[in-house]
Structure 1
Amino acid sequence: MSLYPLKFTPLYKYRIWGGEKLKTVLHKNYQEDHIGESWEISDVKGDQTVVGEGILEGKTLKSLIEEYKEDVVGKTVYNAFGTDFPLLIKFIDAKTPLSIQVHPSNEIAKERHNSFGKNEMWYVMEAEKDAELIVGFNQQVDKASYIQALKSGNILNVLNNDIVSKGDTYYIPTGRIHAIGAGVMLAEIQQTSDITYRIYDYERVDAATGKTRELHTEQAVDVIDYSVSDSYKTKYTKPDNDTNTLVNSPYFKTNIVNVKGEMTKDYSALDSFVIYICVEGELDLLWNDVSYKIVKGETVFLPAAIDAVTLKSSNADVLEVYY
């Protein structure tokens, strides 16, 4: 079988709010300024990542699924999505705040854009002192009071701000208002979708265009979840050499695995691909008598046909993602 643990070549995205940490902290290889996103594994049309090494070098994920079908993604995923890959994996570096935004549900995204919706999660990898995320509301609002806050310039007053630190995790279902604040670098796991409704952008001008960015006020009003929660942050524990749940959604599952020493992961009963995202430290992945080194800021795709791998590290944290 030609399949093996795959590293894809990232795609780097200019963003008005992008910084330098993807280069200086995660050692990504690019020369441009204001790179805010590294798309690690993508099947977005026009932005497909390709295999970076080995006999499959240069192939897109879609072409691999066309050739190897369920051996790449698993029977359940192949039956549900065909040759479309359901997830998009990114690293994000916010030097200045992202716009305040919301994503539509699967149903609305299909109807309006012929796209998947965008349920997503964040895992904070680095956070400067007092860096914040905006997630949800801090008080009960309805459509009318939300529109009033937006028109009067008081929208920030009704949004929930959390000061964050390394390891903080948030699940962002469709409809939940959110924004990444200045000084945060994180890993993002999301459905394959690039549909974002921007509701507030600090009236800033994009140097690349000389214009303010488009807002999607009317589209957003109908998709926002106006409910309020006591806490939006995910609670979890992280014992050594164990698999600990972060997100268990219909769209993806994400666990965190702390590797100290050596551990074997058996996927023979799992009908899915597995993606490893190294968020701290470095480790060796052993499969079929070959060792693959994974360092902080690297992502590895395990085709569904791989039944087991061994992980070795003195101390590493890995996000484990599957369908």
Structure 2
Amino acid sequence: MKLYPLKFTPVYSYRIWGGEKLKTELNKNYDQNSIGESWEVSGVPGNETKVSEGPLSGKTLKDLIETYKDELVGQSVYDNFGSTFPLLIKFIDAKSPLSIQVHPNDDLARQRHNSYGKNEMWYVMQAEKKAELIVGFNKRVTQEIYQEHLQNNTLPEILNTEKVKEGSAYYIPAGRVHAIGEGVLIAEIQQTSDITYRIYDYDRIDKTTGKKRDLHTNLALDAIDYNHYASYETGYETCTNKVNKLIFSPYFKTNSLHLKDSFSRDLSSIKSFVIYICVEGETSLQCFNTTYELSKGETILIPATIEHIDFTTKGVKLLEVHIT
């Protein structure tokens, strides 16, 4: 069966800090309360998304890779990752602040958890007035200074806060302390990993358990990058009907596309799958004489064998994500 552009049924996750914006802003369909995350494209065991349309409906990413191998993900990706899909795509709605946390790098995650590490990026889709993110430290600290503030319940004093707005973008490498603040809706692109070290949680009680959530104080100590950096936000161009470089890392590459009318995208130089995340507006994608609709809050995966896509739109903003 010939591969085609693939949409997936999201996996929704309860979070203590979740709100309603996945419904009200992104038109997600679920019945639970406090849904904080919509996993759009996921190969994480136990939370695998399934194809939602076409002849391959019901297939997971692992099913697809085992059948199509490099035709789906690209030769170098298949050689490096086998049947593991290397990225996890999410939308995150923070009604209240997330815990302050850090993720281990590949070496530490492999040693401790037999997992990949977690390098990620955030793209702010919507932010309420005065919305903030925590990214890194506001000065150079040592492990001892960090522990002192942690013990004195004053950790926020040494953390860097950033005012954000729609379109703000941040790369969060493994080791960088971070947290999404109240009133922020983001698209998150990350390595396939669910390893998080929670280091500060405002003494909140989880209503589902009646207890405070676990902290990972000791695990985090060797994972944290204690350096201070001059700048944390990523600046980028927003030229219309052009592929604008956004964040390129060793783990994924992300471009920003602001399209106003018809646009043809040659993908032949990209040797992996491509994922499009619609962060504003809507568009039609033409491929193999078939049209696929994509609206705000939707995601579509283009298999590696597809080398050309035509877009038709009256106005859309897309994130384009690939590996190589």
Q: Same fold (TM over 0.5)?
A: yes
Q: Which amino acid counterpart does residue 75 of structure 1 have in structure 2?
A: Q
> What is the CA distance between 1:94 and its match in structure 2?
0.2
Partner of 1:260: 260
For 2:171 and 2:150, locate their aligned partners in 1 and report how far apart those are by CA, in whole Å: 24
Deviations 1:239-284 (A, max 9, x none): 0001111111110000101111111111122210000000011011
Q: Secondary structure at the residue paired with 1:321? A: strand
Q: Where does residue 321 of structure 1 map in the other structure?
A: 321
- The residue number in structure 2 matching 1:86 is 86
Amino acid at match of 1:10: P
**1:4-23 matched pairs, under 5 angstroms:** 4-23=4-23
Secondary structure of 1:186's partner? strand
Letter in 1 for 2:93: D
* Identity, % of aligned positions: 58
For 1:138 and 1:268, the matched residues in 2 are separated by 43
Q: Which residue of 2 aligns with 1:58?
A: 58
How far the C-alpha of 1:2 sits from its partner, in A, is 2.2
- Gaps in structure 1 of 5+ consecutive residues: none
1:312 lines up with 2:302 in the alignment: no
What is residue 30 of structure 1 aligned with on the other side?
A: 30
The one-letter amino acid paired with 2:217 is T
> Please, which runs of 5 or more residues in structure 2 have no aligned partner?
none
- Equivalence for 2:70: 70
Q: For 2:285 and 2:70, how far apart are their aligned partners in 1? A: 23
1:90 is paired with a residue whose SS is strand
Tell me the residue number matched to 2:202. Answer: 202
Cα deviation for residue 139 of structure 1 reads 1.1
RMSD between aligned residues: 0.6
* Structure 2 equivalent of residue 105 of structure 1: 105
The residue aligned with 1:142 is 142
Code of the aligned partner of 2:253: K
Structure 1: how far apart are the matches of 2:247 and 2:268?
21
SS at match of 1:261: coil
Q: Tell me, in whole angstroms, the C-alpha distance in 1 between the residues paired with 2:269 and 2:188.
A: 26
Could you say which residue in structure 2 is the equivalent of 1:151? 151
1:246 pairs with 2:246: yes
* TM-score normalised by structure 2 residue count: 0.99
Corresponding residue pairs, total: 323
Instruction: Report whether the alignment pairs 1:231 with 2:231.
Output: yes
The whole-number CA distance in structure 1 between the counterparts of 2:223 and 2:25 is 36
TM-score by length of 1: 0.99
Instruction: Confirm whether residue 47 of structure 1 aligns to residue 43 of structure 2.
Output: no
CA offsets, 1:210-239, max 9 Å, x none? Answer: 000000000001110011012100011110
User: 1 CA distance for matches of 2:321 and 2:222?
Assistant: 31
